[in-house]
Structure 1
């Protein structure tokens, strides 16, 4: 460091050592650049920057990203294929076991009417949306690997329970030689096979991992306090079975293949199929003229009933999918999600105070935006603002105005009125109130809300000072110019809401 010639050299040396250059470059930046390089190599030279906006380049970028979504944990493999054969070289990339597939996602809707409008007269399936950890389970040649929703391998997390359970079930079963399943792992209370109760997400988040040497084959683990936590794997899709790629099949067909796997590994309360019902939205369908004692419920009534049943059983809501839908890796929009916090009146809003932010990445870095934003609730007892979540969901207009506003107010260190475990972001003196919504509250090793007042540390996992409370999936609602910062939601209110949620 002493040999650095200027301040900028020191800054980038430190960033290299921290593996965080903060230049706004992501994996997708490399993939887009690779597609542009293929075009440049083909035409020999590019006269203008806008040449990279040609349709041929856009198609190449789309193909590169689509193939990357089939091999999310190995970008090197994708780039090697491009080097070897250009864009055409990507044709050899297909779904394979142990290469994570980008998860297909659902777009939120806030009403049943929006669902009916989106799907028209299609037949859909309404799945319970479990409040757990989404995983992708790969099995081949006696080996199991598990990937999280970000395509990162987290096999060790489940090595003490889920994996030995599966290996025991699959041993010697020739009808299932390989598979890729899309699943949700959920904490459950399992008194017996007929009484399986779904537990909140925070129960799963406090769960300790078993050591690799533990050969127990039950899907049971313990919390940090020593109490047992059972888990159940709820499978909802099969993307690959016995060397056959299934992503281009309709959902109804993929479900048949999923049933083939569940016939071998399935067990109620341990490894089960997601609860779902099929609903036909075609109001013109008739029942061949047969008379019924009771009128058949309308599609919206069926969806409403399924939603209420899911919420009653401690689920977040419903996932809505066309029975003809293909599995589009990394795509959002083909599926819909209806959650209780997306429907007006089912979830209180919180008034929070922005206390800090990070420099954005990707597109936000290019525009100079701060993102995400660190927001806090008010600990009235100690006159402190305690962090509760990171917030992302602002409009570009607000990103611009608020970045400019707070850039003029940066402090060298956090305000004395701020209590936050986050230390690597920009801070300022608290001065505004924003209204936000979220899914639910959860015990958090990162956020400090209620630490100043709570007697319970919500399952200390070894971190200094125990756990606070965090808000999951926060969404910006509006700015509250009518409120002062001391009128923000208090830590006491958060504690009461969290305790009520646990009951």
Structure 2
């Protein structure tokens, strides 16, 4: 302690006669340092156990809480979660690469990223190399403060207009050139690229802060609310006050494999009267409107969608301007794209249209061949009153009464059935089959009985039947994670030709291999995915991956790479996959004939399909007649050898 005292400036020494007071000041100065935060994050990155990681996160938070500066704590959490602003600062990885080429002009960043896939690590190693070449002993370096970093992001956010892209690059280049510590530049770049790569999610942060709050006997309730509302921008409880502009986690539905399971599911809630709704092949959207503040569109993942659907925003503004009876509202619906005849385009066509418009100079031009519209199916807030606690029938009626079908707004196709009447149940089944025959995505079944509030905390009282239900196969597609790739051969040379997919194990906190996939890809997708995922390449297999020793892919990806939706013919037993091995002896579970459908950029890897769901589907499949596991396994082995 005396050694620390001797290093203090004289003015600090004079004001530090009392030892406890000195300790407080010293700790306070430490937590204000960006290097202090970066060093703690580096320590957390070396922890493989999730529970140990949460504990380390608690210790980090406690360092800031003890100082009593709540604003500093919130600034730290913004950096920790890469939430430097409620709206994303649009700096793509490709722009960061160009910026680093200017800062470190003599280095080969492309080769480094292909081998290691970490742009922050690149900046760290290049600065280390630069300091060594300059024989800089780093004893006189000026460390950044957290406040300086936050102020930088505020300046970056405020740059707008035609020259904003160039001005942002210049601002970042000048700031990077001032950074003198390799660890600081590594985590600054990672925050700028919105990926710390240390296994921390919003849920981890909330979990750690909740644990501290319990230990302190709920004395941090307000701080916890501030983190949820001011940093993450969402409400997580039914009784919390909903606000316009603050997204609410969407209510989800339980996938069911057949109509018998649907009845069992609804019986659990004593549901008889239900609404059957067409499931559109679009993108989930929450619409927030206020006469004074305008419109915000939020994705399923609570991200702002205005830039993705500018035409829809423009048309919704015209729609609401005509209606004096609507002061403000929060609506739930599905965005689709139609042609001039009203035919709904596929999700893939919708995404291609969005990208084409973003790349053009006339994003707001109305395109008769690609009309953006929204099908409404729920309402949470209307004219300054929240209704998420009201029953489903009441909410649906408000939508019908106040939101006319006009312009970009339509109502989700729905029909009410009483399942206690056999005739109604048969008609419901026929309508679902009709939807499938018409190549629709499927159907949603929603209970209309009492206590059917809008539940954001679990999959309750909504069920979904997707197109696989008629084939006797699976009722749902799977959201999986590409964790590795194999170089393509022949016409696929120069790109990744096939991938190793995994799903997430919530209990073990690891990513477990599920299958290989090489079908369902277009040539363009293979090239685009190779270009994207090169940025996620790791030098070695991450510790969180559970993969059989026989798999030797050409490259491994980081665990935050992407989420893909795939379909398959069925689930099969396989000796080289580990999911369900404890349940089924020597064999695990794999997907038989998997086919790629689309990228789920609205989901994080931890929101992918869990192994419990895989096991549940497999058990249901095994219970069905004419299930030949041996044939499935043999076919799966043949497909993998071909891949």
The alignment's TM-score, normalised by the length of structure 2, stands at 0.49
Which structure 2 segments of 5+ residues have no match? 1-123, 138-180, 486-498, 534-541, 563-574, 578-588, 602-607, 619-628
What secondary structure is seen at the aligned counterpart in 2 of 1:405? coil
Aligned to 1:487: 639
Matched, 1:254 2:405: no
Matched, 1:405 2:543: no
Aligned to 2:380: 239
Aligned to 1:335: 462
Structure 1: distance between partners of 2:500 and 2:509: 11
CA contact (8 A) 1:279 1:299 kept: yes
Tell me which protein shows more helix as a share of its residues: 2
What secondary structure is seen at the aligned counterpart in 1 of 2:308? helix
Q: Deviations over 1:339-394 (max 9, x none)?
A: 112454468999xx985599999975x84623577833279xx9xx9989x9xxxx
Match of 1:103 among 225, 250, 255: 250
Q: Deviations over 1:31-79 (max 9, x none)?
A: 12222222222399xxxxxxxxxxxx9xx9xxx79x95xx5x8437889
Question: Displacement of 1:166 after TM fit?
Answer: 1.5
Matched, 1:436 2:591: yes
Matched, 1:147 2:270: no
Alpha carbons of structure 1 residues 37 and 367: separation in structure 2 relative to 1, 3 Å: same
Question: Displacement of 1:95 after TM fit?
Answer: 0.8
Match of 1:199 among 323, 334, 345: 345
Structure 2: distance between partners of 1:123 and 1:10: 63
Aligned to 2:212: 37
Match of 2:424 among 275, 295, 299: 299
Alpha carbons of structure 1 residues 361 and 344: separation in structure 2 relative to 1, 3 Å: closer
Question: Displacement of 1:485 after TM fit?
Answer: 6.0
Q: Deviations over 1:119-158 (max 9, x none)?
A: 2352111101111011111100250010111000011112
RMSD, aligned CA: 5.2
CA contact (8 A) 2:374 2:409 kept: yes
CA contact (8 A) 1:108 1:336 kept: yes
Aligned to 2:317: 167
Structure with greater Cα Rg:
2
Question: Displacement of 1:248 after TM fit?
Answer: 0.5
CA contact (8 A) 1:360 1:369 kept: no
The alignment's TM-score, normalised by the length of structure 1, stands at 0.61
What secondary structure is seen at the aligned counterpart in 2 of 1:487? helix
Structure 2: distance between partners of 1:11 and 1:489: 44
Structure 2: distance between partners of 1:369 and 1:246: 39
Aligned to 1:209: 357
Alpha carbons of structure 1 residues 13 and 215: separation in structure 2 relative to 1, 3 Å: closer
Alpha carbons of structure 1 residues 321 and 13: separation in structure 2 relative to 1, 3 Å: same
Alpha carbons of structure 1 residues 212 and 163: separation in structure 2 relative to 1, 3 Å: farther
Structure 2: distance between partners of 1:362 and 1:12: 31
Structure 1: distance between partners of 2:394 and 2:511: 45
Structure 2: distance between partners of 1:251 and 1:212: 42
- What aligned pairs does 1:112-191 form with structure 2 within 5 A after superposition? 112-120=259-267, 121-142=271-292, 143-159=294-310, 161-191=311-341
Question: Displacement of 1:231 after TM fit?
Answer: 3.0
Aligned to 1:224: none
